[in-house]
Amino acid sequence: MRIPLIDLKAGYQPVRDEVLRRFDEVLDTMQLLNGPNVEAFEKEFAAYCGTRHGVAVSSGTDALCAALWAFDIGPGDEVVAPSHTFFATIEAIMLCGATAVLVDVEPEALTMDPDAFQAAITPATKAVIPVHVYGHPAAMDPITVAARAHGIHVIEDAAQAHGAKYGGRRCGALGTAAAFSFYCTKNLAAYGEAGMVTTNDDAVAEKVRLLRHHGQVSRYEHATLGRNLRMDELQATVLRMKLPALEGRNQRRHEIASQYAAALAGQDIGVPIELTGCSSVHHVYAIRTTRRDALQQYLQRAEIGTGIHYKMPGHLQSALKRHPHRIEAMTVTDQVRHEVLSLPMYPELSDEQVRYVTDHIIRFFEQSTLQAAHV
């Protein structure tokens, strides 16, 4: 049995005919930008998240940049972010010319350590980007309390957290603004690149709308320097089609996560947990083991796909050397980068496939125990 880490074809086949029908509708009109599907999706996704505004942009990275630009963050400003994240979180800070201040994560959900954030605050700190990594919400209450006390903007990196909840509220509505990615592997995925900024701040929403379209306020007038950050109509129509099914697909991810956890209980493995008051959407199912590399090779031989999130965290990236940055203590991050291993996780996984994966993991540890006993 061959089980990939992610199977995009399995998710596409059931909706193929509807996707092509909707694409035909858009292509018949040839209104490919700034059209009705983008506008409708902005309203629908904002309503889903529980915010007043959703501003569609071209990618999750552009959403992060646009949110930072909307707060006029640039050279001389500091922005705090966890090192244990996809590099785009940190890259966005540097693209704005600001100083990236990288901090450690807490050891359970591997989201930003609130104490590490608070210790990193200086008079130059203008924003913090807590990342809802793997689909589990960051510790937003203590982060937000500390941020408000110092007048710091809270920008959620919700690229992996479509539908996740913290204290009963959905990610995307917990900070001053939030950045979503709809990259093709996400829980809510386009067939290509797309992103969105959600916010309850009218001024922030208006600034992002201006920035994404070259600062244009009328056909011939540009009020400010902007960028080309627009989402196209084809991606918007896909996302509109998929949004109503998101809750059901997230529920299936939760079921798969529960099956993994039950089957692997008692093994020398750390499995993902949901902290009190949090609801994860399990974008990534990352286990932890000190035998990570050997286990990955064993599963590869069984044709089971795996991944490592994140083998080289942000503070070790050579790209940092050319930009202003500061690195705080990385006790947890430096440990888990040698331990995390992501297992297959997508709604189309069958119970049989999940058992195949867990049976092989259990067999690996049983064989390891027998080999150790004969040494």
For the chain, the structural domain boundaries read: 8-244, 247-373
The answer to whether 198 touches 175, Cβ cutoff 8 Å, is no
247-373 matches 8-244 in CATH topology: no
**In whole angstroms, what is the distance from residue 318 CA to residue 173 CA?**
33
Tell me the mean pLDDT in the region 97-104: 98
Using CB atoms within 10 Å of the CB of residue 368, give its burial: 0 to 12 exposed, 13 to 18 middle, 19+ buried. Answer: middle
* Confidence band, pLDDT 50/70/90 cuts, at residue 252: very high
Q: Which of 55-59, 104-108, 136-140, 369-373 has the lowest mean pLDDT?
A: 369-373
Q: Given this model, what pLDDT does residue 368 score?
A: 74
Which pLDDT band holds residue 374 (cuts at 50, 70, 90)?
low
pTM to 2 decimal places: 0.96
Share of the chain above pLDDT 90, in %: 92
Q: Is the pLDDT of residue 19 over 70?
A: yes
- Cα 282 from Cα 280, distance rounded (Å): 5
Tokens 């646009």 -> residue:
66
Q: What is the mean pLDDT of residues 17-29?
A: 95
Please write the tens of the pLDDT for every residue from 66-91.
999 999 999 999 999 999 999 999 99
Q: Which CATH number fits domain 247-373: 3.90.1150.10, 3.20.20.100, 3.30.70.1290, 3.20.20.70?
A: 3.90.1150.10
In this prediction, residue 373 carries a pLDDT of 58
pLDDT, one tens digit per residue, over 189-247 is 999 999 999 999 999 999 999 999 998 988 899 988 899 999 999 999 999 999 999 99
Distance CA 296, CA 340 (A): 10
Say if strands 340-343 and 278-279 run parallel, antiparallel, or are unpaired: unpaired
Measured between alpha carbons, how far is 179 from 203 in angstroms, rounded to an integer?
16
Task: Provide the mean pLDDT of the chain.
Answer: 96
Q: What is the pLDDT of residue 51?
A: 98
In 3D, which of 327, 328, 319 has the Cα closest to residue 94? 319
Mean pLDDT of 330-346: 98
Query: How far is residue 334's CA from residue 60's CA, in Å, rounded to a whole number?
Result: 26
CATH number of 8-244: 3.40.640.10
* 306, 341 Cβ separation under 8 angstroms: yes
Alpha helix (H) ranges present in 50-158? 60-70, 88-95, 114-120, 140-149
Q: In sequence order, what are the residues at sequence separation of 6 or more whose Cβ sits closer than 8 angstroms to the Cβ of residue 2?
A: 303
**Bridge partners of 304?**
3
